[in-house]
Chain A
């Protein structure tokens, strides 16, 4: 905290201004991994998700999340004070704009958009734009800020070190928990609710492969996201882990090592399983490495960061296959595995792979238990209620003709020849 207060706000703000490249990369990935008839809706939806998240977070979210050391509310249970929510003013009215908390508020506005974009990608090709925006508002105004306060705002998870002597408390400098796993669990809930695309799971035989329509978007999105992740991990390290801004090079090196190890591991595994490397799974491996790096980049040695990435990338294709074939989850962007699973692994690796005070790994486990045991069920209940008011799943006709024509009235590629769809029954 002291180091964070000493960090130069201008340098931190410049870092934060690069963070939107992460959601920009994810938006390209989400659009490219869909079929062409829903590409425009996917990209417009990504912009709308960013917009709704920014407004909802600015109006309500910041007041619930706040910044460490700010006004908050605690409850006394078992003789221990549990700091559970911030009590800041609505509409960002009490932000001290010349101090580091202004950088934190700005970072959060972009970060919450990144988190909300993860479920948007998983519900692609059958999730209505309107209900997607409503779900984003819920996530940005309630779910993200409250959990974010526990981790980044001086809440009870951050204080596990002082209240229960668990290391330095739950450590998540780059947002592996607050952004990646929270977004990944929201993606799981959305896939549970909207169910599969038509034709994905035939009554007999294996799930149908619905290939990405534009792998160039997907791979370029990976490169764009890398720059955003550099900034996200570096700014997070300054603001939430008290890192010295002069020592950020290690965070940046660890980020690229984690992503590189993950990409190459995914490439080797897909090469072994399918005979040739799978471009979309390799892209997912890259993003999984970045998601895992958010937990470890500011904390571990370069070797440990590389190991974290290799494990994430090696397991990712298997997890995606397990979720699709065994669990019958239709997740076009792979967000559940890429952000949820890899983020969880990163959080555990952050407790395992560094020299920490006693109890640090238990603190990480408590954070993981909170994500799975509280955030996931609450997200499910809220989204199910929202689904009754604003149904998530689009009309069957919308899915047949594509979300572009159905919701926007025009396709992303009007000059393309319309072709038949082998996935739909005739």
Chain B
């Protein structure tokens, strides 16, 4: 699950970069970058949940 979360984080970054390249209008571009950050937030949340599920003292 942590790897899926990290994959979502990376996908969010790709979306942000694609927004710069593909969208010329500032408002569309800003909305797409915010959406990309939301995807990253989802990924970070998933990675945190994965850690929590296995959280222990590591021994």
Residues on A close to B: CB < 8 A?
A: 77-78, 80, 126, 160, 164-166, 192, 194-201, 326-329, 358-359, 361-362, 365-366, 368-370, 372-374, 376-377, 380-381, 393, 396
Return the chain B residue nearest A191 by Cβ.
B51
B1 to chain A minimum Cβ distance, whole angstroms, is 12
Q: 8 smallest A-B Cβ distances: which pairs?
A: A373-B13, A195-B58, A328-B55, A78-B21, A369-B16, A377-B6, A198-B57, A373-B12
Give the contact-size bracket for chain B. Answer: 20 to 34
Residues on B close to A: CB < 8 A?
A: 2, 6-7, 9-14, 16-17, 20-22, 26, 29-30, 33-34, 36-37, 40, 43-44, 47-48, 51-52, 55-59
Return the chain B residue nearest A194 by Cβ.
B58
In the bound complex, CA of A377 to CA of B39 (Å): 14
A201 and B9 form a contact (CB under 8 A): no
A80 and B9 form a contact (CB under 8 A): no
In the bound complex, CA of A279 to CA of B31 (Å): 41
B47 to chain A minimum Cβ distance, whole angstroms, is 8
Residues of A near B48 (CB, < 8 A) are 327
Return the chain B residue nearest A326 by Cβ.
B52
B13 and A374 form a contact (CB under 8 A): yes
B40 to chain A minimum Cβ distance, whole angstroms, is 5
Q: Supply 12 A–B pairs (Cβ within 8 Å), ascending by A.
A: A192-B47, A329-B55, A362-B29, A362-B30, A365-B34, A369-B37, A373-B12, A373-B13, A377-B7, A377-B9, A377-B10, A381-B6
A370 and B16 form a contact (CB under 8 A): yes
A196 and B40 form a contact (CB under 8 A): no
Main secondary structure of the interface of B (DSSP, over half): helix
In the bound complex, CA of A199 to CA of B9 (Å): 31
B56 to chain A minimum Cβ distance, whole angstroms, is 6
Residues of A near B2 (CB, < 8 A) are 192
A396 and B56 form a contact (CB under 8 A): no
B33 to chain A minimum Cβ distance, whole angstroms, is 5
A195 and B44 form a contact (CB under 8 A): no
| Contact (A373, B55) CB under 8 Å given A164-B20, A362-B29, A365-B37 | no
B59 and A198 form a contact (CB under 8 A): yes
Residues of A near B9 (CB, < 8 A) are 372-373, 376-377
**Residue in B10, B12, B26, B43 whose beta carbon sits within 8 Å of that of A362 in the complex:** B26
In the bound complex, CA of A164 to CA of B34 (Å): 16
Residues of A near B26 (CB, < 8 A) are 165, 358-359, 362
B51 and A199 form a contact (CB under 8 A): no
B5 to chain A minimum Cβ distance, whole angstroms, is 9
B57 and A200 form a contact (CB under 8 A): yes
**Residue in B16, B47, B57 whose beta carbon sits within 8 Å of that of A366 in the complex:** B16
